[in-house]
Amino acid sequence: MEKQGVLVLNLGGPDTLADVQPFLYNLFADPELLRLPAPWMQKPLATFIAKTRAKKSQANYASLGGRSPLRGITEAQAQALETELQRAGIEAKVYVAMRYWHPFARDVLAQIKADGIQRLVILPLYPQYSFTTTGSSFRELRHLRQQDPNLQKMTWVWINSWYDQPDYVQAMAAAITAELEQFSQPEKVHVLFSAHGIPASYVSAAGDPYQQEVEGCVRLIWKYVKRPNPHSLSYQSRVGTVKWLEPYTENRIPELAATGLKQLLVVPISFISDHIETLQEIDQEYRHLATSNGIQEFRRVPALNTQPRFITALRQLVQPHLAATLPSAQTV
């Protein structure tokens, strides 16, 4: 029987305030995230952006306790997935690799080799595929694999996107429904799905499927919500002056408030773990934006993190690619 493992991929985040600037450099030095006409411009521009944004980003992370919670949450998700697989009779170690901060893929792959893994399932923790997220991580992994004959001997299975996975979709719908019930007048709440943005040209010129998958994901989730509430989609976390996918969340909130809306529920549709975009950008910046424009009740749907049905969704994604090796402890 092959020794098998699962490698979950995420963005990463600084562990201390001193890590913020090098983390930002790694982020903007990625040509999949920031595409430039001349490759020689990548590193100098990444250095400039990192230095320019470091102080503000450090203040944002300081409001979260001085670090990103993403690594801890991702490691908890990996442990929960490993436990769920064991309950299904599958022995597979689950590893975590981050794209822009520790633990880096190179180091994790070294551990995977040392553990003697022969079959590896690659699971990005991004429901919707984009060149900037899953695509970037896959490109790095393929590069590392090409450099190492031992990695080439392993069987690698790649999971590209899973925005339509039934347990994930229904977990999101249940979270929205539960949060709607916390409002004083649930039927009057506008539900605003907010996805991480990408430059519009990546979709229109390069064919990135991200926007299509985000819109498809919203439609699937709303079928299970089964509420008459109005809902819409916008995009957040824009960087620079180029046009990104629209509408921008920072513009959409005042527009909704201008209609007389008093109750707003924000759904972080492309984020399955709490990190700076949920805890600081939505919970702090967008909450202030909403209340200062007259919205009286503002809530956010919690990220799924280690919610049991979400972990079941992750197990359902990788299980078909793994062999059962243990007697199942119970039916799952």
**Angle CA(254)–CA(231)–CA(129) in degrees, nearest 5?**
100
Residue 326: pLDDT band with limits 50, 70, 90 = low
How confident is residue 1, by pLDDT bands cut at 50, 70 and 90?
confident
Q: Could you tell me the two tokens for 88?
A: 């299904």
Residue 210 backbone phi and psi in degrees, to 5:
-55, -50
11/141 same-domain check: yes
In a shared domain, residues 11 and 152: yes
What are the counts of helices (DSSP H) followed by strands (DSSP E) for the chain?
A: 13, 8
Question: Are residues 285 and 210 part of one domain?
Answer: yes
Q: Is residue 269 part of a domain?
A: yes
Residue 292: inside a domain: yes
Q: Are residues 316 and 290 in the same domain?
A: no
pLDDT tens string 66-81: 999 999 999 999 999 9
Q: What pLDDT shows up at residue 184?
A: 98
Contact 193/233 with Cβ under 8 angstroms? yes
Residue 196 sits in a domain of what CATH number? 3.40.50.1400
pLDDT number for residue 162: 98
Which range (20-29, 34-43, 132-141, 215-224) has the least confidence?
34-43
Q: Does residue 295 sit in the same domain as residue 316?
A: no
Residue 82 within any structural domain of the chain:
yes
Same domain, 213 and 282: yes
pLDDT one-digit tens code per residue, 276-291: 999 999 999 999 999 9
Q: Could you tell me the CA-to-CA distances from 261 to 175, 264, 285, 290, 298 in Å, in that order?
A: 22, 8, 18, 10, 11
Whether 38 is covered by a domain: the verdict is no
Token pair listed for 297: 């009740």
- What range does the domain containing 109 cover? 4-16+67-125+129-162+308-321
Region 20-47 average pLDDT:
89
Is residue 330 very low, low, confident or very high in pLDDT (cuts 50, 70, 90)? very low
For residue 45, tell me if it sits in a domain.
no
Nearest partner of 319 among 59, 86, 99, 144, judged by Cα: 86
Q: Where are the beta strands (DSSP E) in 52-189?
A: 93-98, 119-124, 155-158
Same domain, 77 and 208: no
3-state secondary structure 226-280: CCCCCEEEEEECCCCCCCECCCEHHHHHHHHHHCCCCEEEEEECCCCCCCHHHHH
Cα separation of 215 and 237, whole Å?
18
**Per-residue confidence at 12, pLDDT binned at 50, 70, 90?**
very high
In-domain check, residue 27: no
Whether the pLDDT of residue 327 is over 90: the answer is: no
Residues 180 and 262 both lie in one domain? yes
Q: Is the pLDDT of residue 156 over 90?
A: yes
Mean pLDDT of the chain: 95
pLDDT of residue 239: 85
Residue 305 has pLDDT above 90, yes or no: yes
From CA 29, how far away is CA 35, in angstroms rounded? 9
Contact status, residue 276 vs residue 265, Cβ threshold 8 Å: no
Q: Confidence band (pLDDT; 50, 70, 90) for 40?
A: confident
Give yes or no: residues 149 and 195 share one domain. Answer: no
d(CA 8, CA 30): 19
Residue 331 has pLDDT above 80, yes or no: no
Regarding whether 194 and 271 lie in a shared domain, the answer is: yes
Q: What is the pTM of this model?
A: 0.95
- Return the amino acid letter for 27: L
Q: Tell me, what's the pLDDT at 39?
A: 80
With beta carbons less than 8 A apart as the criterion, state whether 140 and 12 touch: no
Taking the C-alpha atoms of residue 217 and residue 220, their distance in angstroms, rounded to an integer, is 5
Q: Are residues 289 and 173 in the same domain?
A: yes
Query: Would you say residue 270 has pLDDT above 80?
Result: yes
β strands within 113-251, DSSP E: 119-124, 155-158, 190-196, 231-236
Residues 6+ apart with CB under 8 A from 60: 276, 280
Q: How many domains does the chain have?
A: 2
Residue 57 lies in a domain: no
Cis, bond preceding 124 (omega within 30 deg of 0): no
Same domain, 181 and 136: no
Q: Answer whether residue 260 is part of any domain.
A: yes
